[in-house]
Every structure is written in structure tokens, then in C-alpha cells.
Amino acid sequence: MGAVKTKRMPRAVREQQMLDAAVRTFGQRGYMAASMDEIAELAGVSKPLVYLYLNSKEDLFTACIRREAKALTEAVRAGARPGLPADRQLWSGLAAFFTHTARHPDGWAVLHLQARTHGEVFAAEVAAMRTEIVAFVTQLILEAAREAHRDPDLPEREVSGLAEALVGAAEALADWANATPGVTARQSAATLMNFAWAGLGNLMEGRHWTPPDDEAGVGAGEAQTGRTSPVR
Amino acid sequence: MGAVKTKRMPRAVREQQMLDAAVRTFGQRGYMAASMDEIAELAGVSKPLVYLYLNSKEDLFTACIRREAKALTEAVRAGARPGLPADRQLWSGLAAFFTHTARHPDGWAVLHLQARTHGEVFAAEVAAMRTEIVAFVTQLILEAAREAHRDPDLPEREVSGLAEALVGAAEALADWANATPGVTARQSAATLMNFAWAGLGNLMEGRHWTPPDDEAGVGAGEAQTGRTSPVR
């Protein structure tokens, strides 16, 4: 790419090219091993220009995390379709999540592996995104429970726990799907739906799985939330 | 503690005291903020003795990760009781996991937060433990599916995905439970059981949740595993 053409390209466009190159390099090589030389070369610019625009390797990495976090959050929000029945909403949200992580494996590696492995500052960036997604999922589950069950007797605390479990399961499954050749986004979403839906669906109808009472040594003393009808 | 008494204590006992102090300090303060002075003081020994026994902060942290990983893996293995029906096995395994993480919150923070945040070497230690637990859970699900369903038509790949989802959900829920005052181990285990069991239980009986066919943009083209009976 010639110097003249380089100068004509708007800064915003060039920055996105640098971020594209950086996400790919950080995602595939890891944060430590990735070099600014490699990123500059892949972006088709000089290394000083990368430093001029994005200041340092740390700042470049932070910019990557923020861009990828925003893209993922927007994809999930766009995927969930208010007005659909609860199972369809969950399905379309999960499908959007796994479609995004499958299409952007380097972005997902930056968010879920690299950012969490290389210090508290980067980890905090990702934690902020995760908190937002958990809050969004909590809201979805609460609304669905209210819909299904006029008297919403799923305690808010349990809904928070369910949202954490669902997000944790989705994260783990996305890692696994991206590391396992041939697993499609649709298969990952269907696996999690199969894993989760009947459980959540039954909960929303007020049907809980009831733990046996004759267990020893299981955080004894604290009563369960008191549903009686077993799921199966 | 006097110098004479100090000398009489066997090395193995003293090392465990140092590790106890280190797990507590790393878990509560974080790896970076934890100081060797603090750890030595909490263990009731001199700082040079900590270095003599455990070499460096890095090696001490690695020793903490290994000890806590072994304890957690053993607790989960001991919790799962072969011979019980599948739901009872899953329940007792989950109850053992959440009881352990609730009783050892600093050990859990070392494994799931600190070790993964401070570099690839520590993260690899935890990844090894996780691989072992996922393999164990995969085996449990496979055996339960075979038991429930003479012709085991849950594809092994889907079982791997389910095990990943279950482990990811359990990890996220343990983080949340330890950060949320008043949540007991039994409640966490019951929340995950309610979330997961009916889904898994239905799968084992060959009843899948079936994704709608009219979705656009969901990793199109790849056929689902082809079960027809919806869960609800």
C-alpha cells in the first residue's frame, strides 16, 4: 500500500484496520506473544503509526477488548426478540451469541481468554461487559417467569443465580465449540437449549426439582425454597 | 510462637501452615497485592523461611493452586456416588462441589479468579484441573444416558458439550454464591439442579428440545441432531 493512498484514508478507518489486525493477532498468538511489529504489518501500516494512534500495547489491547465487548453485547441484545414466547426468546438470544462467537473466534479469545489472563485491569474491562449481559439475562428470565406464572414466586435471588449459571454455561460452551472442529453455532445453541430450557421452563411454571432430604453434609440447616412438585 | 517450638515442628506441617496463610492472602488480597511479609506473618514464621521452603512468590502461588485443585477434584469425586440413580448422582456431585467452594472461598478465588488472571503459566495449572473435571462429568453423563436409554443415541460430542456447559454453569454459580451474602451450598446446588436436571434428564430419555426451523441467520445449513419430540 503506497504512502499517498495511506494519507488519504480517514483516521477512523485506519484505526479499525489496526484493531482488526490486533484482535486477530492477540486472539491467535496470545497477548504476551503478540508483537506490535506483527500487528502493524498485518494492518499494512508502520509501527510508529500504531503507537501514534493507539499509544501502547496495553492501550491497543484495551481498545480491542472494548470494541469486541460492545459488538458481542449488541449481537446478544439484537438477538433476543421481545414479544416472542420465552423459549423462543432464549433460543434466539443463544443463537445470536453462538453465531457471534463462532464468526469472531479471535474476538471471543480476546474477551474470554486473553483479557482475563493478563492482569486485573484487562479482567475488569471484561467483567463490566459480563455484568451487563448477566443483568440482561436476569431481566429476560424475570419477565418470562412473570409471563408464565401470574404470581411470580421465583425469588429474585434464584433468578440471579440462574442467569449466572446460564451465562457461565454459554461461555464455557463457546470456548469448547471454537476449539472443536465442526461444531456449528446452531448445534451449540441447541445443546445449551436442551441443557437449560426444560429446567428453566419447568421453574417458570413453578415446578422445581426437589433435593432429597436424607443427604448428609450438604450445607445443612438452610431450608430450600420449598417447592414440592418434582420435575420428573 | 517461640523459636524452640518452631524448630520442633516437622517441615510438612509448617509448609501446610504457609500454604494455608498463602491461600488466604492470595484469595482475599489478590495475587499482585499479596505480600510475602503478610503471608509469613500470618503463618507465624519468618519471611526467609517461606523463601527457603517455597522458593519464590510464583512457586508459592503454584503450590497453592496445586493443593486447592487437588482438594476440589477429590471433593467432587468423593461426592459423586456410583450406583445411585442419575439425578441423585448429579445432585450429590453438585452438592459436594458447592459445599467445598463455600467452605474454602479463598481456595476457590485462587483457582477461579487469581490463577486465571495472572499469566499463562498459572492459568495452565487450573486448565489441567478443569480438563480432569470435565472428563469426569462427561463420563457421568454418558453412563447415566446409557443407563436410562438402552440404545445410547446421545452423540458423544453432544455429551462433551453438555459437560462443558454444566462445569461452566457451576463455576459461574460458585463465584456468584461466594460473592452473595446468605446463599448456601445447598441453595446453589439446588439452583443448578433445577436449571440443568430436567434438561439433562429429558435428553437422557431421548427427548430433545427442537429448535424452530424458520430462523434466519442462525449458523444456517447445518442440520440439527434430528430429535423430534419437544421437551414441552
* Per-residue pLDDT tens digits for B178-230: 999 999 999 899 888 878 876 666 666 666 666 666 554 443 333 333 333 33
Residue A146 pLDDT:
74
Q: What is the pLDDT of residues B82-102, one digit of tens each?
A: 788 777 888 889 999 999 999
C-alpha cell at B187: 441453595
Judge: B190–A199 Cβ closer than 8 Å, yes or no.
Answer: no
CA distance B5 to chain A (A): 36
Judge: A186–B219 Cβ closer than 8 Å, yes or no.
Answer: yes
Q: Could you say which of B92, B170, B218 has the minimum Cβ distance to residue A186?
A: B218
Residue A54 domain flag: no
pLDDT for residue A2 is more than 50: no
Q: What is the pLDDT of residues B17-50, one digit of tens each?
A: 999 999 999 999 999 899 999 999 999 999 999 9
pLDDT for residue A229 is more than 50: no
Residue B217 domain flag: no
Nearest residue of B to residue A184 by CA position?
B219
Residue A228 pLDDT:
30
Q: Which domain holds residue B87?
A: 62-204
3-state secondary structure (DSSP) of residue B98: helix
CA distance B174 to chain A (A): 9
pLDDT for residue A227 is more than 50: no
Mutate to test the interface with B, among A81, A194, A205 (most CBs of B within 10 A): A194
Q: Count CB atoms within 10 A of the CB of residue B201.
A: 21
The CA distance from B2 to A57, in Å, is 50
Residue A87 pLDDT:
77
Judge: A165–B191 Cβ closer than 8 Å, yes or no.
Answer: yes
Higher pLDDT, A216 or A98: A98
One-letter amino acid at B74 equals: E
Average pLDDT over residues B166-173: 95
Contact B218, A99 (CB under 8 A): yes
Residue B188 domain flag: yes
3-state secondary structure (DSSP) of residue A27: helix
How wide is the angle at C-alpha A104 spanned by C-alphas A99 and A106, nearest 5°?
145
Residue B220 pLDDT:
35
Cβ-based contacts of A232 with chain B (< 8 Å): 87, 197-198, 201
Cβ-based contacts of B117 with chain A (< 8 Å): 116-120, 123
3-state secondary structure (DSSP) of residue B224: coil
pLDDT for residue A210 is more than 90: no
Task: Name the burial class of residue B44, with classes exposed (0-12), middle (13-18) and buried (19+) by CB atoms within 10 angstroms of its CB.
Answer: middle
Mean pLDDT value across chain A: 83
Residue B86 pLDDT:
75
In this prediction the ipTM stands at 0.81
Residue B111 domain flag: yes
Residue B52 domain flag: no
Q: What is the pLDDT of residues B104-147, one digit of tens each?
A: 999 999 999 899 888 888 989 999 999 999 998 888 888 777 77
Higher pLDDT, B213 or B70: B70
Q: What is the pLDDT of residues B4-25, one digit of tens each?
A: 455 678 889 999 999 999 999 9
CATH, residue B138 = 1.10.357.10
pLDDT for residue A131 is more than 90: yes
Q: What is the pLDDT of residues A184-207, one digit of tens each?
A: 999 899 888 878 876 666 666 666
Residue A15 domain flag: no
CA distance A170 to chain B (A): 7
Q: Could you say which of B91, B186, B222 has the minimum Cβ distance to residue A187?
A: B222
Cβ-based contacts of A120 with chain B (< 8 Å): 30, 32, 117
Mutate to test the interface with A, among B26, B112, B173, B194 (most CBs of A within 10 A): B194
pLDDT for residue A65 is more than 50: yes
Q: Name which of A169, A202, A203 is nearest A188 in CA terms.
A: A169
Residue A175 pLDDT:
94
Number of domains in chain A: 1
CA distance B119 to chain A (A): 5
The CA distance from B1 to A227, in Å, is 52
Average pLDDT over residues A149-168: 79
Cβ-based contacts of A100 with chain B (< 8 Å): none
CA distance B57 to chain A (A): 16
Residue A22 pLDDT:
97
Higher pLDDT, B176 or B141: B176
Nearest residue of B to residue A190 by CA position?
B211
Residue B119 domain flag: yes
Could you tell me where the DSSP H helices lie in chain B? 3-8, 11-29, 36-43, 47-54, 57-79, 86-103, 105-109, 115-117, 120-148, 156-179, 185-204
Residue B153 pLDDT:
62
Cβ-based contacts of A225 with chain B (< 8 Å): 187, 190
Q: Name which of B137, B106, B115 is nearest B22 in CA terms.
A: B106
Cβ-based contacts of A195 with chain B (< 8 Å): 162, 165-166, 196, 199-200, 203
Contact A165, B192 (CB under 8 A): yes
Residue B30 domain flag: no
Long-range contacts of B47-51 (CB under 8 A, 24+ apart): B49/B14, B50/B18
Nearest residue of B to residue A178 by CA position?
B161
pLDDT for residue A118 is more than 60: yes
CA distance A59 to chain B (A): 18
The CA distance from B125 to B132, in Å, is 11
The CA distance from A111 to A103, in Å, is 14
**pLDDT tier, A3 (very low <50, low <70, confident <90, very high otherwise):** very low
Residue A67 pLDDT:
97
Contact B161, A173 (CB under 8 A): yes
Q: What is the pLDDT of residues A24-58, one digit of tens each?
A: 999 999 998 999 999 999 999 999 999 999 999 99
